[in-house]
Structure 1
Amino acid sequence: MVLRGWRLVLNRVIFIPQRYVLGIMGLFALANSFTMRVCLSMTITQMVTKTAPSEHIIGEVCPDYDQETNVTKDITPYNSSSVFVVRERYDWDEATQGLLLSAFYYGYVITHLPGGILAEKFGGKWTLGLGLLVTSVATALTPLAVYLGGAVGLFIIRVIEGLGEGTVTPAFVLLLARWVPASERSRFGAMIFGGAQVGNIFGPYLSGLIMADGGDWHNVFYFFGGLGVIWFLFWTVLCYSTPNIHPFISDEEKKFLNDSISASGLHKKLNPVPFKALLRSKALWALMLAAVGHDWGYFTMITDLPKYFSDVLKFNIKETGLMSALPYVAMYICSFTFASICDYCIHKKWHTIGTGRKIYTTISATIPAIFMMLASYSGCDRIAAVAYFIVSMAFMGGFYSVKINPMDIAPNYAGTCSAFSNGLAAVSGIITPYLVGLLTPDQSIHQWRIAFWLIFGVLIGTNLIYVIWGSGEPEWWDDVDKYGYPPDWKHGPLKKRREDFEKKVVYPKHDHSPIAAD
């Protein structure tokens, strides 16, 4: 009775459409998940012992403009107003640091596909919520893991964080497919997935403030892990897997969503995932490779850009936090701009959904690739380098109009398709930090330039593949009852329905479309 009374009160008080409540909570979820993901990129600059560059460095090495100030802060545990805790610094080389920065993605990749399948079976609410709760608790336990196990302990706890967070994107894509009409998808995609940029903005910036002037890096993990637990408590009360089970959604909104959303999973139980058709889909493979290209550049930036600002351009920790946040401010703003333009053009029928996805894939790949290269050739010019990185990440925001492409090609199996695309792309997060560590042992500009040329090639190549084979139309295997089998399908039926047996359906040798027997 008490629960019912609360539901009646909420139904009267909450006048905001519930899909927007979901969108706002999704924004906070992605924001907090990315602060927990990227905070190590900042803290590791204060966790490791700084070594002098070797004499055989090839290429430019920038002067340390704040050398005297930095030395004073490193060795002075006490001043007139504060007492600082002096933590042990670890002797981890660049390759080890790269491995630790990539550890998160080992777990992140593993749970993508199970996360998508679980979301389709049990709903996105608990799959996503419990996953982020695991990440939040593991983040808060990170200092303890480092104390007990050093680099090995840090690697293990980061893998656990990734295991929890791997469910987030597949579950959210499925939730959007259940909650958001096609004409609003780009905006909601930008709203929710743009939360990643909020995390990328506040993660480095707040971490820099917490650690400035001798602050303890332990507090960074306690702070962001605690925020994740608080978010989970609100999520359990306010958000639900579909409009039809939401206890205080308005009747008008529920009717609108049921009438305008095409995913049949909203109205009936889905059949098992058609893996043999899904894995033969050119549109899905094109999306997966486009996501690999985007994440190759994106993950290099979120994991290694703080190190570039700190170790190459020699910003101090407070400046590094601010400089690392600025590119994501631009990316966040531009993601909404691009998404609104894309939705408007689709609504006006100026171009199709597929054409829009290809336009913004190209924008988010080619322009960032060019400006990353310009940044690498700007040498020790701090202002130019930061400006080029800001422009690069701003245009990378166009990819959020493409990230929702699984809802276009497979609204019923959007969770699984998103798991494939985002999961394969996340392999970049395993490769790039370790590879950058190997390519930049001395943190010289010349060594970093090689890493940026590699990003350039991956972005341009994967974009061309998507432009050729990408699609914005539903694939036939998403709803065989509606679309039937294509003429060239030679791999047997995707499912055997009870009514097929009742009608004695037979499948001809060369045509696998079901037909009734005479």
Structure 2
Amino acid sequence: MKKDGAGDAFWSRPESRIWTVILLLGTCLLYCTRVAMPICAVAMSARFDWDKKQSGLVLSSFFWGYCLTQVIGGHLSDRIGGEKVLLLSASAWGSITALTPLLIYLGSAHLVLITISRFLIGLLQGVFFPALASLFSQKVRESERAFTCSTVGTGSQQPGELRIFSGDPVDLSFPGKIFSPPASGRTIAAAFAPPRKNRLELAPLAPRLPGKVPNRKRRRGK
């Protein structure tokens, strides 16, 4: 039962549990999207002949956008509500992430398109944690706030745990296949790296010096 006054703004316990699960999954997807490009950068650099400077430009563009919307995200969440900010931003950066593999087919300026897309993703994801802080302060009771914040925060660690369950990480040959963010960077490197010659070749054994017989054979000879 909801109380009168300020208590009306708080979630009930069932609502709090549902929101905790939803926000936990949202945080997990947020970090999956964030680490997608650093994992795919090695394969894409080899595919499009990017040098280290160009790869660094693509990777840093996310954080240039990310740092610009921290304060704005918190201000908007206080004004219109954290739920609306999270919904709008997640819909936008999720759509851009899904369309990222298609950008390589829009023209020859792959570097510019990928850089712009990563900048926009960072711009939209920068409001996530300020919106969470505003949402928790307005909707979660103080006695449950620590548990809710810590549970939602564990979503940032799940992408690393999901690597062991990932399949084919990257396939740039078909536009319908999207980057698999939790995939291991080592798997991508192995998939796109040129085959090594004599990978399993063992080092030759050192020649035995004449006159020296292993103790095992001496015992058998006796």
TM, length-normalised to structure 1: 0.31
* Aligned residue number for residue 80 of structure 2: 122
Residue 21 of structure 2 is matched in structure 1 by 24
| Match 2:91 to one of 122, 133, 139 | 133
Distance 1:131 1:200 in 2: 23
1:316, CA displacement in angstroms? 4.1
Change (3 A) 1:178 1:114: same
User: Residue in 1 aligned with 2:149?
Assistant: 189
2:50 corresponding residue in structure 1: 92
Q: Deviations over 1:343-391 (max 9, x none)?
A: xxxxxxxxxxxxxxxxxxxxxxxxxxxxxxxxxxxxxxxxxxxxxxxxx
Deviation of the 1:167 alpha carbon: 1.3
Residue type of the alignment partner of 2:90: L
Instruction: Write the letter of the residue equivalent to 1:146.
Output: I
Contact 1:39 1:220 in 2 (8 A): no
TM-superposed CA distance for 1:317, in Å, is 2.9
**For the Cα contact (< 8 Å) 1:133–1:164, is it kept in 2?**
no
Q: Which amino acid aligns with 1:114?
A: I
Residue deviations 1:90-134 (CA, integer Å, cap 9, x gap): 111223212211211122111221111110000011111100111
Is the Cα contact below 8 Å between 2:42 and 2:189 reproduced in 1? Answer: no
Aligned-CA RMSD value: 2.7
**Alignment partners' CA distance in 2, 1:40 and 1:31:** 16
Question: Partner residue of 1:152?
Answer: 112
Do structure 1's residue 198 and structure 2's residue 158 form an aligned pair? yes
Aligned to 1:33: 30
Distance 1:19 1:145 in 2: 39
Residue 3 of structure 2 is matched in structure 1 by none
1:44-66 C-alpha deviation (Å, 9 max, x unpaired)? 222222xxxxxxxxxxxxxxxxx
For residues 99 and 200 of structure 1, do their structure 2 counterparts lie closer, same or farther at Cα, with a shift above 3 Å needed?
A: farther
> Which structure is richer in relative contact order (CA contacts within 8 A, separation 6 or more)?
2
How many angstroms apart in 1 are the aligned matches of 2:159 and 2:132?
A: 17
Match of 2:127 in 1: 167
Contact 2:86/2:128 (<8 A) preserved = yes
The aligned amino acid for 2:34 is: R
d(CA) in 2 for partners of 1:200, 1:35: 9
- Answer yes or no: is 1:216 the counterpart of 2:179: no
For the pair shown, the structure with the greater C-alpha radius of gyration is: 2
Q: 1:318 to 1:155 in 2, by over 3 A?
A: closer
Identity of aligned residues (%): 28
Unaligned runs of 5+ in 1: 1-14, 50-88, 225-301, 321-518
| Equivalent of residue 103 in structure 1, options 56, 61, 65 | 61
Write the letter of the residue equivalent to 1:196: S
Could you tell me which amino acid in structure 2 is paired with residue 154 of structure 1? I
Query: What is the DSSP-based 3-state SS (H/G/I as helix, E as strand, rest coil) of the residue aligned with 2:157?
Result: helix
Unaligned runs of 5+ in 2: 1-11, 192-222
Compute the displacement of 1:16 (Å). Answer: 6.0
How far apart are 1:319 and its partner, in Å?
A: 8.1
Match of 1:17, as an amino acid? Answer: P
1:317 corresponds to 2:188: yes
| Contact 1:131-1:166 at 8 Å conserved across structures | no
Following superposition, the deviation at residue 157 of structure 1 comes to 0.6
